[in-house]
Structure 1
Amino acid sequence: MGLADGLALPHREFTSLLRSVFDWDAQSRFDSENIAMLVDRDDFWLHSEYRQWITDPNDPEVKKQREQAAKPPPDPLIPPVGQRLERNSSALWEDYARKVKKYSSVEKKKIPLSELGKMWQIG
């Protein structure tokens, strides 16, 4: 009996080992996506906090932008910045761009006729 005979695996054990490798690979893909999603949210949070730190709420430009801003989306628009496989990343970026386009259109506020008349009064 040689060394190779002692290392031979029975067919069932090899199949079981191979299945566990495939299961581990599938799980690692889920883990990678979950970590990328956490990176996305952490990046979003950091940028949001930074904007609050450097923005003066009493600045006239900030007040004007807030008055002209559209209604915010029901859920935050989080860009997919975490590293992913190219096929996953491109689909997420396309979805993000579609949502940004949908929610970034500023609707003009309609001014009632009575208010419009007050704006043009002289004296």
Structure 2
Amino acid sequence: MKKLLLIDDNLTLLNFLARDLSIYYDVISFSESKLAIEFIQSNAKELNIIVSDYKMPLYNGIEVLKAAKEAAPHSIRLLLTGYIDAVDEKDQKGIYNLIIDKNVIKDARELVRNIEELPKGLK
């Protein structure tokens, strides 16, 4: 089973997604970006998919996924945000494979579909 790391400071959403995604993946979740980065650096080889919220205290999702790209370049990296207009995609080229608007994700199956439908060149 693929390992998915999920980072979001919203505990309600984190627990909801972690529970539902655990049907499809071996899910590890963090609500603190600093701890998530430390985990990524220590366990990079094991991580297949990294999904991070954008707006978080201390380190934002771009910073988390930048650390993930350096430590685990083989991983699929997704940025989840409710602030899609605030993310300047051209400045973040290559840091994440896909940006997803939290406001349009209805359930975990839709997130899984987004992950699994990524073109092979982006995986």
TM-score (norm 1): 0.24
Of Structure 1 and Structure 2, the greater strand share is in 2
Q: Which has the higher helix share?
A: 1
Q: Report the TM-score, using the length of structure 2 for normalisation.
A: 0.24
Structure with more contact order per residue of length (Cα contacts < 8 Å, sep ≥ 6): 1
